[in-house]
Homo-oligomer: A and B are copies of this chain.
Amino acid sequence: MTWRKRTDLAVEARQLWCERTGRAGALAGVKERKEQREGYEVTEVEVVDQRGAQALGKPVGRYVTVELGGLHRREGDAFGRGARVLAQMLSGLLPPGKGTVLVVGLGNRAITPDVIGPAAVESVLVTRHLVEQEPRYFGSFRPVAALSPGVLGTTGMESGALVKAVAEDLKPQCIVAVDALAARSIHRLCTTVQLTDTGIVPGSGVGNARAALDAQTLGVPVIAVGVPTVVDGATLAADLLEQAGQETDPRLLRQLDGGGMVVTTRDIDQQAADLAKVIGYGITLALQPQLSMEDLQMLLN
């Protein structure tokens, strides 16, 4: 089997296709669009049909990438602008309606680069019980439930199976799933957020193949919000070797592949915490458009 550079980001898959094929410019079955929003760069890659899906190795659907680089530099209202741009892009992917939304934080709370999902969920305003118990005050809120299903190693259950069991009981209108991703470029670590209406697909980059969480397996639309927190060691090595004008030795790469080695930033703990918070705020703003950032700062931690 051919070893392939690994990325969960559609924008990087697009770029890898160019490099592999040596072709620039348009790619059949894929549309691309860039814009600036709230001072951040937003790229949408749309995989229109099977030609595009095969070329990029990504299912048909929309992939919106937001570059939140400025968040770390804590420039003027970087946090508020970041939450707003995420809210805007997420709103564009959500199915219309006001029904219950289940927000799912995937990943292992005990592993720093994997904590993004559960940590983001802690910054989401959970309202389902309030809407039911206190309709007088919360009647205008959209019902939101939240779940961090853990990982197979600590629960003995596939997170997908667990989400499915809960979704069958809860019957949400849609699911928003937050997860850590693998990127190809170290410059994207904890700076890029990818939103997609295709759900979470198997073979995801952070390592362990997991069952898909998508409309087909869960029965309701699944919007995935992903953040690259690691670069796969073998992918980085291949890139370095190529930059040095060197053919990649597949044996070396497979050896690196098996080592569980990941590349990350020294301050991943803080960066993951920052990004989780902006994602939680962004999801909440998208689901409760009547609230302002000031409201959220009072209602959330």
Contact = CB atoms under 8 A, between A and B. Distances in A.
A240 to B, nearest CB: 5
Interface residues of A, number: 74
Contacts of A157: 128-129, 145, 147, 166, 170
A79 interface: yes
Interface in A228-282: 230, 233, 237, 240-241, 243-249, 252, 256, 259-270, 273-274
A168 B262 CA distance: 38
* Shortest Cβ-Cβ A-B pairs, 6 listed: A128-B156, A145-B156, A165-B169, A74-B298, A126-B156, A246-B246
A135 interface: no
Interface of A: 74-79, 110-114, 122, 126-130, 143-148, 150, 152-157, 161-162, 164-166, 168-170, 186, 206-207, 230, 233, 237, 240-241, 243-249, 252, 256, 259-270, 273-274, 294, 297-299, 301
Given A145-B156, A155-B147, A244 B241 contact: yes
